[in-house]
Amino acid sequence: MKKIITLVVLAFGTAFSVNAQDKIMNKTQKTISLEQTSGEFTQKQITVSEGTYVFEIANNAVGHDVGFVLVEKGKDIGKPENHIQTAYVTEAVATGKTQKSKPTKLEKGEYVYFCPLNPTATDNTLIVK
């Protein structure tokens, strides 16, 4: 009987540690909100500090689903292996809706972002200082 109780206590201890860490991570995570209209992002250049961010992409009357791709500047944007996949929205963004990415750690440097579904310019710039 003691062994079963000990295992239950350990299981609850582990769950508590994970939950506490999740709460800490959520406090350090920031959001970058971007809006797409027909053929473009309304924000052409953004500057942020290093950290972990969630991208929140809004579809403002584009008329079809949109997405989001982030690539380090200088890398071939046409190659999916160069995309920072955690920055993808978790599902396509329908007209009038907003979707978020997974948390994405951004280090100092320059990045470009674009939409593969809404022919946006590929020179939108995200600068991380």
From CA 6, how far away is CA 21, in angstroms rounded? 23
On whether residue 12 sits in a domain, the answer given is no
CATH assignment at residue 119: 2.60.40.420
CA–CA dist 126, 41 (Å, integer): 12
CA distance 66 to 80: 17
Q: Give the pLDDT band (50/70/90) at residue 22.
A: very low
Does the pLDDT value for residue 14 go beyond 50? no
Q: Say if 19 falls within a structural domain.
A: no
Name the more confident of 99 and 1. 99
Q: For the residues 89-107, what does the mean pLDDT come to? A: 97
State pLDDT tens for residues 67-93.
999 999 999 999 999 999 999 999 999
Domain assignment of residue 22, yes or no: no
Angle, vertex CA 75, rays to CA 112 and CA 44, nearest 5: 10
Least confident of 32-36, 55-59, 67-71, 118-122: 118-122
- pLDDT, position 77: 96
Is there a domain that residue 9 lies in?
no
Q: Report residue 2's pLDDT band, with 50, 70 and 90 as the boundaries.
A: very low
CB 78, CB 25: distance < 8 Å: no
Q: Are 101 and 89 spatial neighbours (Cβ–Cβ below 8 Å)?
A: yes
Q: To 5 degrees, how large is the angle CA 128–CA 24–CA 6?
A: 145
Give the domain extent around 77: 29-128
What tens digit of pLDDT does each residue of 113-124 get?
999 999 888 899
Which has the higher per-residue pLDDT, 4 or 56?
56
Task: Examine residue 18 and state whether it is found in any structural domain, yes or no.
Answer: no
pLDDT at 27: 59
Coil, strand or helix at 77: coil
Look-up of token digits 């989001």: 68
Q: Look at residues 35, 42, 43 and name the one whose alpha carbon lies nearest to residue 126.
A: 43
49 in any annotated domain = yes
Q: What is the pLDDT of residue 119?
A: 87
Within-domain flag for 13: no
Number of domains observed in the structure of the chain: 1
Q: By three-state DSSP, how is residue 128 classified?
A: strand
Residue 75 domain flag: yes
